[in-house]
Amino acid sequence: MGKSILTAGAEPTSGALSDLSPLFGDAGLIRAGADLEMGGVPLARIAEKVGTPLYVYHAAVIRERYQALATSFAAIPHKICYAIKANSNLAVLRVLRDLGAGADIVSGGEMRRALKAGFPPERIVFSGVGKTGTELESAVEAGLGHVHLESVAEMEELADIARARGARVGVGIRVNPDVTAKTHPFIATGQGAVKFGVPYDQVVDLAAAIARQPSLELDTIAMHLGSQLLDPAPYRQGLERLLALVDRIAAAGIDTVRYLDIGGGLGIRYRDETALEPALVAAAVIPLLRDRGLTVVLEPGRFLVGSSGVLLTQVLSRKHSGGKDLVIVDAGMNDLVRPSHYGAFHAITELRAQGRPPLRMDVVGPVCETGDFLALDRELPGLERGDLLAVLGAGAYGFVMSSTYNTRPRPAEVIVDAGRWAVVRPRIRDDEIFAAESVEPAWETQG
């Protein structure tokens, strides 16, 4: 089990970065004298006013990433539907909505977030392997643009719901294309024997079953290969398999497919990887799509928001134990679970450079777990109590995967835009975590 966590795609957990400038560039960070700034705002000033742990997101970086993707696919009809699961803060969603993005959702809660942020229902795609009947009812009532089906049973339930409401729903089939992409095994979703998608050899039969349902219209064939992909080749391979299915579906007399959804998964730089630029993905897939008369749908999450965010934390203390130097900070695995869950590497830097000599250390959190760490065997400047640190590349799968384990409040969230900053999710108090619980249960009895 421990070995599999650090297989292909996982970032290494040791070592130093001699040059942070590429990562600073990705995040729109600069060192102004000793101070680390984002969008013209010193991050230390935000940390001192709001407190730590704290997530900060850079709106300008999100816009730049979106425009890079839109420009790369400008030669063909396309739609960009942001994968809300990566970062669902309403202020972040509003930035993307204003750019014209749609939304890719995987739960009823994400649907309500998307609608609250102002995404038009017709620009919302409902994916997800385990939709409940209540969620499907809400999707029909809201008039969502597409519902991607994962099974015959889900199709039948959705058809019954739509028929009862006199609605006609546009649906897609999420295909498992059986394409293996090199990434961490926990975030690989396109190969066989995983829970995602309809097996390739069952798709045409499901398409025919959908065509027999007057309340449904098959308009999309979709795939998602995984997350943090760094090679464009699997996109081309997967798309070739999708196009073969489209042709077989058309040969069966079904001519309603208008969209090909190739998912997201574009990888970013966390350490010294070469990020997967959208132009490379476009070059791999546009030649296959140019003359097909289909609109390509992209569902990026991490690519749009991952580099835009930092997690700010403060050093609580230092100790030396078992031949190791340990730095204890106030952010832990409950705030950023990626290092302990995936073995992921996140660069760490001081908010105010002190010029101290480097020291090899573990950066650990306050949670009562041995696996609570942000960095292991990392070379960092000598740190002292009260120093403020930034954990880079924390804009995706950071706050959204956080928890209140140990009854610790989840971090606050801040957005920075053109020299301004605002708290977009305040930190709640400890007692608010358990405010809805009951000391004296309202018992019910049988009979």
Strands of the sheet with 29-32, listed across from one edge: 29-32, 35-38, 41-42
List of E strands, 254-334: 259-261, 295-298, 309-321, 324-329
Find all residues with CB under 8 Å of 37, minimum gap 6, and list them: 29, 30, 31, 43
Q: Do the beta carbons of residue 387 and residue 316 sit within 8 Å?
A: no
* Separation in Å, CA 246 to CA 100, 127, 292: 28, 19, 10
Q: Do the beta carbons of residue 95 and residue 269 sit within 8 Å?
A: no
Find all residues with CB under 8 Å of 22, minimum gap 6, and list them: 269, 272
Kindly give the pairing relationship between strand 412-417 and strand 420-425.
antiparallel
* Secondary structure (DSSP) of 173-190: EEEE-----SS-GGGB-S
Residue positions annotated with a catalytic role = 368
DSSP H helices, 73-202, are 90-98, 108-116, 133-142, 152-164
Q: Do the beta carbons of residue 219 and residue 261 sit within 8 Å?
A: no
Tokens of 209: 């079953």
Look at residues 280, 263, 234, 265 and name the one whose alpha carbon lies nearest to residue 68. Answer: 280
Q: Do the beta carbons of residue 438 and residue 429 sit within 8 Å?
A: no
**SS3 call for 384:** coil
107 φ, ψ to 5°? -160, 165
